Amino acid sequence: MKETAIPEALGGESFELEAQEGWLSWVASVDHKKIGIMYLFSALIFFLVAGVLALVMRIQLAVPGNHFLSPAVYNQIFTMHGTTMIFLVVVPALIGFANYLVPLMIGARDMAFPRLNALGFWVQIFGGVMLYFSFATSGVNGGAPAVGWFSYAPLSETAFSYGPGVDYWVLGLLGIGVGTLTAGINLITTTICMRAPGMSIRRLPLFVWMTLITGFLIVAVMPIFNAGLVMLLIDRLLNGHFFRADTGGSAVLWQHFFWAFGHPEVYIMVLPAFGMISEIVPVFSGKPIYGYDFVAASTVAIAFLSMTVWAHHMFAVGLGHAFDLFFGITSMAIAVPTGVKIFNWTATMYQGRVRFTTSMMFAVGFLLMFTIGGLSGVAFAVVPIDWQLTDSYFVVAHFHYVLFGGTAFAVFGGAYYWFPKMSGRMLDERWGKVHFWLTLIGFNLTFMIQHVLGMFGMPRRVFTYPALPGWETMNMISTIGAFILGFSVLIFLVNVVLSLRGGKVAGDNPWGAWTLEWATTSPPPEENFERVPPIHGRRPLWDLAHPDRTDEMMMKLAG
């Protein structure tokens, strides 16, 4: 009895699944690395789709009074572009990196709930496919949803959107929402319960700090959105009255539900990007991150504040000066912890030895582009400025500086940084630099001018516009920029394909980095580590390489 198969069944070979081959080795996998890569791959596919939608929009807007698209089609396209980029590109890309990296960075074998992890990914894919299936609905009112990514009621109610598009939007996003929620739960549990011995909370790599906080934010706000979606579905399918003013509901209520989720969502989409920058900048500056405690603590501050600022999306609704003032002040306050991060990243480069790898260039690009987006965000916190500029092209420019100039630059930086770990091969640096410069130029050409268009009174979400002085030129510049940006993405794809086939072999630690993911092979074996190195500080691999001046010793010396 005592020596029966129990220990063997738990730890022995008999418990192992049969090794799968071919596509089944991916689809049936519960390995966090494979799921992480699948998240990234699906995000890339949706990025290409939504990117093409963006180019189609820019063609339509290149000249005034264009007849390239009908308004009905244009409105579907901008709705799908926004919805896809947010829910199927940015969030999954960040969850993908978190999935791949968090267990490796904390010295764990896998995520806390591997099966839930796989479930979350596939539910999300299912939601995405459902959302896109709406294009296949036919009839006069068929087609994709045409209500914008925040789907304001009562436009999204059956009285004004009778086709099934919005139903697909709701059901698709519910699926995606459940997927994101499982990822949040998994990230929290993994980080709290699965750390290797010595990996205390205050030694976590900052990327893990940021994904931990992101996990809490997801768990806090995703249910609000899912509840709102269900209410909208009840209105639409069961003739409910939640958001219908004509039968006693409230159109403003939907906005509260949406933005109470929607603004924290912005931080869900940017905190992990902050985490990537906090890994990349120190490594290529040859220094530890400046002010670790402050970078981590400011993240917690941002997470709390992010739940108190939602109504700055509603300053134009007319809810009263006291209301607007409150949310204006909280929105300004959130700039402070964000600024702390910017200063710390900058200070990290000082007295360092900065290596200009493609990854570092994207990180520096992030630093400057995100600062522009952050500062125009401060302008929107100033209520009267928001009264003028909200729902204009100024706001389109602003959030693209945050989400593309910010998150996408960081994700590209992360891609160049961790691709060697994931594939075992380096991405080509020459192609990488071409990619970077084209992205920087294309991005700024597209979106910088949109600030001016907004100031000149161009509302967002218009399928065409009158030939007012200057508008034509400015829109043409933006369209040209968009095509340069689109071309830069092609360069990236070429780089990925070529490097996967014949890139330089990476080795365990090509960048001379210090966190645990670089202590194993590239790509890591299924169990991640043969042996986790001893952890006595925040940079275990630095300590190994410099036993005479470990972080612990140097911090003591510095007091």
Partner 1 sequence: MPGPYTVNAFTLAPASPQAAAISQLFVGTLIFLGAILALITFLVIYALIRYRDRPGAPEAQQNFGSRKLELLWTAVPILSLAVLTGLMFRTMIVSDPPTADAKPDLRIVAHQWWWEIYYLKSGVVTANEIHIPVGKRLLVDFRSADVIHDFWAPDLGRKIDIVPGHPNRLWIEADRGGTYLGACAEFCGNEHAWMRFLVIADPPGEFAAWLKEQANVPPKPATADEQLGAKIYRERICTNCHLTGVGPDLTHVASRRTLGAGAVENSPANLAAWLHDPNDFKPGSNMPNFKLSDDEVRALVAYLETQK
Stretch 244-263 residues interacting with partner 1 (CB under 8 A): 245-246, 249-252
Does position 30 interact with partner 1 (CB under 8 A)? The reply is no
Tokens of 465: 């516009």
Does position 9 interact with partner 1 (CB under 8 A)? The reply is no
Task: Read off φ and ψ for residue 385, nearest 5 degrees.
Answer: -65, -40
**468, 490, 500, 505: residue in contact with partner 1 (rule CB under 8 A):** 468
Does position 470 interact with partner 1 (CB under 8 A)? The reply is yes
Question: Is the CB of 112 or the CB of 340 nearer to partner 1?
Answer: 340
Choose one: 102-110, 163-171, 223-231, 467-475; the region binding partner 1 (CB under 8 A): 467-475
Does position 56 interact with partner 1 (CB under 8 A)? The reply is no
Q: Within 13 Å, how many C-alpha atoms sit on residue 399's CB side?
A: 19
Q: What is d(CA 61, CA 77) in angstroms, rounded to the nearest whole number?
A: 13
To partner 1, the closest distance from the beta carbon of 113 in angstroms equals 35
| Owner of token pair 């790898």 | 357
Q: How far is CA 232 from the centre of its chain?
A: 26
| Pair 211, 189: CB distance under 8 Å | no
Does position 339 interact with partner 1 (CB under 8 A)? The reply is yes
Choose one: 117-125, 187-195, 200-208, 370-378; the region binding partner 1 (CB under 8 A): 370-378
To partner 1, the closest distance from the beta carbon of 302 in angstroms equals 13
Segment 166-171 long-range contacts (CB within 8 Å, at least 24 positions apart): 166/232, 166/236, 167/233, 167/236, 167/237, 168/130, 168/131, 168/133, 168/134, 168/137, 168/144, 169/79, 169/83, 169/131, 169/134, 169/144, 169/145, 170/229, 170/232, 170/233, 170/236, 171/127, 171/130, 171/233
Does position 462 interact with partner 1 (CB under 8 A)? The reply is yes
Q: What is d(CA 238, CA 231) in angstroms, rounded to the nearest whole number?
A: 10
Stretch 157-176 residues interacting with partner 1 (CB under 8 A): 159-160
Stretch 140-159 residues interacting with partner 1 (CB under 8 A): 146-148, 152, 154-155, 159
Q: What is d(CA 204, CA 60) in angstroms, rounded to the nearest whole number?
A: 48
Q: What is d(CA 230, CA 174) in angstroms, rounded to the nearest whole number?
A: 8
| Pair 484, 444: CB distance under 8 Å | no
To partner 1, the closest distance from the beta carbon of 180 in angstroms equals 25
Does position 387 interact with partner 1 (CB under 8 A)? The reply is yes
Does position 267 interact with partner 1 (CB under 8 A)? The reply is no
Q: What is d(CA 523, CA 424) in angstroms, rounded to the nearest whole number?
A: 5
Stretch 81-120 residues interacting with partner 1 (CB under 8 A): none
Does position 514 interact with partner 1 (CB under 8 A)? The reply is no
To partner 1, the closest distance from the beta carbon of 254 in angstroms equals 10
To partner 1, the closest distance from the beta carbon of 244 in angstroms equals 8
To partner 1, the closest distance from the beta carbon of 496 in angstroms equals 26
Does position 346 interact with partner 1 (CB under 8 A)? The reply is yes
Supply the angle between the helices 165-193 and 206-237 in degrees, to the nearest 10. 150
To partner 1, the closest distance from the beta carbon of 344 in angstroms equals 7
To partner 1, the closest distance from the beta carbon of 247 in angstroms equals 10
**12, 142, 223, 457: residue in contact with partner 1 (rule CB under 8 A):** 457
Question: Is the CB of 11 or the CB of 248 nearer to partner 1?
Answer: 248
Question: Is the CB of 253 or the CB of 498 nearer to partner 1?
Answer: 253
Cis peptide before 523 (omega within 30 of 0): yes
Does position 349 interact with partner 1 (CB under 8 A)? The reply is yes
Choose one: 121-129, 371-379, 409-417, 427-435; the region binding partner 1 (CB under 8 A): 371-379
Question: Is the CB of 48 or the CB of 553 nearer to partner 1?
Answer: 553
Does position 286 interact with partner 1 (CB under 8 A)? The reply is yes
Tokens of 492: 């990236």
Residues with Cβ within 8 Å of 404's Cβ and at least 6 positions away in sequence, in order, are 369, 443, 447
Stretch 416-455 residues interacting with partner 1 (CB under 8 A): 455
Does position 536 interact with partner 1 (CB under 8 A)? The reply is no
Supply the angle between the helices 358-381 and 393-402 in degrees, to the nearest 10. 140
Does position 545 interact with partner 1 (CB under 8 A)? The reply is no
Give strand pairing partners of 392: 459
**48, 307, 354, 544: residue in contact with partner 1 (rule CB under 8 A):** 354
Residues with Cβ within 8 Å of 321's Cβ and at least 6 positions away in sequence, in order, are none
Tokens of 238: 């069961």
Instruction: Name the nearest CA neighbour of 379 among 305, 451, 460, 302.
Output: 451
To partner 1, the closest distance from the beta carbon of 355 in angstroms equals 5
**29, 42, 75, 515: residue in contact with partner 1 (rule CB under 8 A):** 75
Choose one: 22-30, 302-310, 462-470, 499-507; the region binding partner 1 (CB under 8 A): 462-470
Q: How far is CA 183 from the centre of its chain?
A: 13
Choose one: 106-114, 166-174, 213-221, 348-356; the region binding partner 1 (CB under 8 A): 348-356
